[in-house]
Structure 1
Amino acid sequence: MAITQILPHIISLCAVSTITQPSVDRVLVTSSNARTRQRSTRRLAYICIGCGTLFWMLFHCHTLILVDIEEIAPGYFTCYFRAGPYVVFMGYYSLFVKAIAVPLLLIVFAIWTAKNIRKVRRRRIAPVTTNTRNTAGNSEQPFHSKDRQFVLMVVVDICIYVACNAMVFVVVIYYQIAQNTGLTQISIFLSLVGSFLSDISYCVGCYAYLFISKTFRKEVKRLFFCQ
């Protein structure tokens, strides 16, 4: 039954990796250095996903041993972290990784991406036009519009993740207050709600992109209709 305890953590942290890796890829793609942009490849993405999955599996192998089967109701058993320092460690560990480290990384990479976009825009050579002033304005407008959509998508990504993982603070604080009372139905309820909200943050990004970006909607339509 310990497998049922370790699998959610591995899947959740692999999902966290899939959120941070696109942030790194955005930095590579928007770089003004051609060699840096060339590093953004499918091969690198596959390697990062594989290494990240292997790392989290090995890092959480201790969960196979340090969990206990507890009876929270007559005839109803569940696996949970062993009471004592280990459950405190896992609580603060989840708090640090999901609620502190990942949002900070997303913010840092988002700022880095915005700086890259601004740098590329400054270096971009204005098109030579022989017509009116409106021609130049129309040629620059799509570029600025796509930039705004791209930055807005990054900001929405961060906001969705922070909002959905704010429940981690509540769960960890409650566990520290009620750790001497053992596993209760309230703690299980908070844990399930926190896990559910955390998992939502990995699913709604696509729908947010469809709502925000016209370019993204066109690409999705082209993909599904093979245009």
Structure 2
Amino acid sequence: MMILSILAFKNVRRIRSFPHQQRNQLRSMNKKDFQLLRCLYVQDIIYIICTGIPSIIEIYENITMDEVHTPVENAIVNLIGDLGLFLYHIPYCASFYIYISMSKAFRHELKRLIYKIWCKNLISIREEEHRQGNIELNVVDIVSTIVVPA
């Protein structure tokens, strides 16, 4: 992922280095491209931080493995190790939150998708209710009265 981010950054620099006249002839990056690139950078930073810290914690645990620790020190080392393990798994579930928080285009597409799903469900429910209403309207009560002469 870091390699792809570096390549994307180089492409942006190359697009910006063209003179303005040549840039009009080529397809320049639009707003969505910059939002996607910004999200990619944030995702890379989170990946580097969340995988770097557990590595440092693991190195520390391996260095101090042969030392005798008190139960409190063992508890602290275990807590820090568990925190590192938790941090290690964050990048794999953080992408959705990164894109939701940083990209207006992604938020808009998500809203449109949710609206599309809910509207289909609402339309099908409304159609079913409408059909039920029509069936009830089509049922006619036949009441016959017989008039008996008195």
- Scaled to the shorter chain, the TM-score interval is 0.5 to 0.7
Structure 1 length-normalised TM: 0.40
1:115 Cα deviation from its structure 2 partner: 4.0
**Does the 8 Å CA contact 1:117/1:147 hold for their aligned counterparts?**
no
Q: Which has the higher contact order (CA 8 A, sep 6+)?
A: 2
Give the structure 2 partner of residue 202 of structure 1: 92
Change (3 A) 1:222 1:124: farther
Corresponding letter in the other structure for 2:111:
K
Give the structure 1 partner of residue 52 of structure 2: 166
Change (3 A) 1:185 1:145: same
1:224 Cα deviation from its structure 2 partner: 1.8
Equivalent-residue separation in structure 1 for 2:115 and 2:12 (angstroms):
31
Deviations 1:146-203 (A, max 9, x none): 2211110110001111222232233123212221147933332121100111222222
Give the structure 2 partner of residue 6 of structure 1: none
The answer for unaligned runs of 5 or more in structure 1 is 1-105, 128-139
211, 218, 222: which one aligns with 2:101:
211
**Does the 8 Å CA contact 1:174/1:187 hold for their aligned counterparts?**
no
Corresponding letter in the other structure for 2:47:
Y
Percent identity, aligned pairs only? Answer: 30
Give the structure 2 partner of residue 175 of structure 1: 61
Give the structure 2 partner of residue 150 of structure 1: 36
Give the structure 2 partner of residue 108 of structure 1: 3
1:117 Cα deviation from its structure 2 partner: 6.0
Equivalent-residue separation in structure 2 for 1:191 and 1:182 (angstroms):
17
**Does the 8 Å CA contact 2:51/2:88 hold for their aligned counterparts?**
yes
Equivalent-residue separation in structure 2 for 1:185 and 1:151 (angstroms):
41
Change (3 A) 1:182 1:192: farther
Give the structure 2 partner of residue 191 of structure 1: 81
Residues 1-227 of structure 1 mapped to structure 2, 5 A cutoff: 106-116=1-11, 126=25, 143-181=29-67, 184-226=74-116
Equivalent-residue separation in structure 2 for 1:158 and 1:165 (angstroms):
10
Equivalent-residue separation in structure 2 for 1:165 and 1:217 (angstroms):
27
Give the RMSD, CA atoms, in angstroms.
3.2
Equivalent-residue separation in structure 1 for 2:87 and 2:112 (angstroms):
31
Mark the structure with the bigger radius of gyration: 2
- SS where residue 108 of structure 2 aligns? helix
Deviations 1:42-82 (A, max 9, x none): xxxxxxxxxxxxxxxxxxxxxxxxxxxxxxxxxxxxxxxxx
Corresponding letter in the other structure for 1:107:
M
The structure with the greater share of residues assigned to strand is 1
Change (3 A) 1:218 1:182: farther
**Does the 8 Å CA contact 2:53/2:84 hold for their aligned counterparts?**
yes
The structure with the greater share of residues assigned to helix is 2
| Number of residue-to-residue matches in the alignment | 109
